């Protein structure tokens, strides 16, 4: 069995999707570490948006619980562009597991995200010149990995095959898929492997961890589908065009909620009622947050909290068969409101786009993706009772 800790939910789901590719049974948990017969257990720690000290404490506790399961290794899934408390959480995991070193391969060449000489590029553009410079919670002001991390003690600029320090955090260069495989050779019993989904995939290949490819009929798509677009990366012209072409009912967050910190809770109830009516008449509804940017401190958190409460109101009023949500933090707030803590990945609809069954809600499936990834066209073309064999 293999374990992984992710700092946000969509990262956990993405790891689950990698496991599916290898024909493995995966379980994702958000609250507890349970005994399991699954091949991979992933804990969605939801620590990225917390204070560093609190995040570190959570990672320490999860690490100790996972060690009781005696996994082959515990992978630390981080954001591929190094947002969050990367070094704090890794130091906590190293201390709790008694390991002195972590090798981090954050680059993900499949998405043209590479690190060369300690500098991060996306499509050959320095990271701070991309849209990540405008991230509302973790704005990127430099492409230099050491400055992004904010920790001068980390080792950067090392290449696959280089002699590594015996201890500390090493963030390796990687410009292609071959580099990911080469880095797997540097992982030993004293080293925590960490990074993006691509490195996890390479590790499964290294350890020849693969089950017989399972042949099963995934749950058919349900009739009532609610899309939730609450990420900071939602507002792009291509996505808006796809929404328009889909013909689904679009319900945008009212301005009175978006621009008002002290909005009347009744406004949220009115919005929920609009969505319920849209579900009854159109079956497929898109709940969006498409507004001009605001510099309100804490806006992202307030929006996520409102989205979570909104979905709870909708779910208590009408049946939902499919929840399709972008953004890990948004998803975590929704899961908390719906009291969902255990999920089973069943389909990878696209890279990082994972559909999951919910253990105690048999009529509901959840599909998520990281906010910065694109939705595949198939998501907008779902047909009732359609089965997909991917």
Domains and CATH numbers, the chain: 2-206 (3.40.50.10840), 225-381 (3.40.980.20)
d(CA 124, CA 8): 26
Q: What is the pLDDT of residue 235?
A: 56
d(CA 327, CA 241): 20
Q: What is the pLDDT of residue 179?
A: 98
Q: What is the pLDDT of residue 86?
A: 97
pLDDT tens-place string over residues 264-303: 889 999 999 999 999 999 999 999 988 877 778 888 889 9
Q: What is the pLDDT of residue 241?
A: 75
Q: What is the pLDDT of residue 390?
A: 40
Q: What is the pTM of this model?
A: 0.91
Cβ–Cβ < 8 Å for 44, 28: yes
Residue ranges of the chain with per-residue pLDDT less than 70: 209-218, 231-239, 382-390
């Amino acid at each position: 069995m293999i374990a992984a800790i992710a700092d946000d939910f969509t990262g956990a789901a993405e790891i689950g999707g990698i496991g599916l590719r290898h024909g493995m049974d995966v379980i994702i948990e958000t609250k507890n570490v349970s005994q399991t017969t699954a091949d991979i257990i992933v804990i969605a720690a939801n620590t990225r948006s917390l204070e560093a000290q609190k995040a570190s404490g959570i990672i320490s506790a999860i690490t100790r619980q996972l060690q009781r399961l005696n996994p082959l290794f515990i992978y630390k899934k981080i954001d591929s562009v190094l947002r969050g408390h990367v070094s704090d959480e890794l130091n906590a995991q190293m201390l709790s597991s008694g390991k002195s070193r972590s090798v981090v391969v954050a680059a993900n060449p499949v998405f043209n995200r590479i690190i060369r000489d300690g500098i991060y590029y996306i499509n050959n553009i320095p990271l701070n010149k991309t849209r990540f410079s405008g991230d509302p919670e973790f704005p990127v002001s430099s492409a230099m990995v050491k400055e992004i991390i904010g920790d001068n003690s980390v080792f950067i600029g090392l290449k696959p095959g280089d002699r590594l320090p015996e201890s500390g955090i090493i963030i390796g260069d990687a410009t292609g898929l071959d580099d990911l495989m080469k880095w797997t050779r540097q992982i030993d019993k004293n080293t925590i492997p960490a990074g993006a989904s691509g490195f996890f995939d390479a590790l499964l290949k290294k350890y020849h961890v693969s089950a017989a490819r399972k042949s099963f009929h995934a749950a058919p798509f349900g009739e009532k589908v609610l899309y939730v677009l609450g990420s900071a990366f939602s507002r792009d012209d291509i996505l808006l065009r796809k929404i328009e072409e889909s013909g689904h009912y679009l319900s945008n967050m009212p301005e009175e909620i978006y621009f008002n910190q002290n909005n009347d809770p009744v406004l949220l109830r009115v919005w929920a009622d609009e969505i319920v009516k849209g579900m009854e008449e159109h079956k497929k509804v898109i709940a969006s947050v498409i507004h001009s940017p605001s510099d309100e401190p804490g806006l992202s958190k307030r929006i996520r909290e409102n989205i979570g409460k909104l979905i709870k109101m909708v779910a208590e009023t009408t049946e939902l068969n499919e929840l399709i949500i972008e953004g890990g933090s948004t998803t975590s707030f929704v899961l908390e409101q719906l009291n969902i803590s255990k999920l089973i990945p069943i389909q990878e609809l696209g890279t990082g786009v994972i559909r999951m069954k919910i253990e105690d809600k048999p009529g509901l499936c959840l599909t998520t993706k990281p906010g910065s990834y694109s939705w595949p066209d198939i998501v907008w073309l779902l047909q009732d009772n359609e089965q997909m064999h991917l």
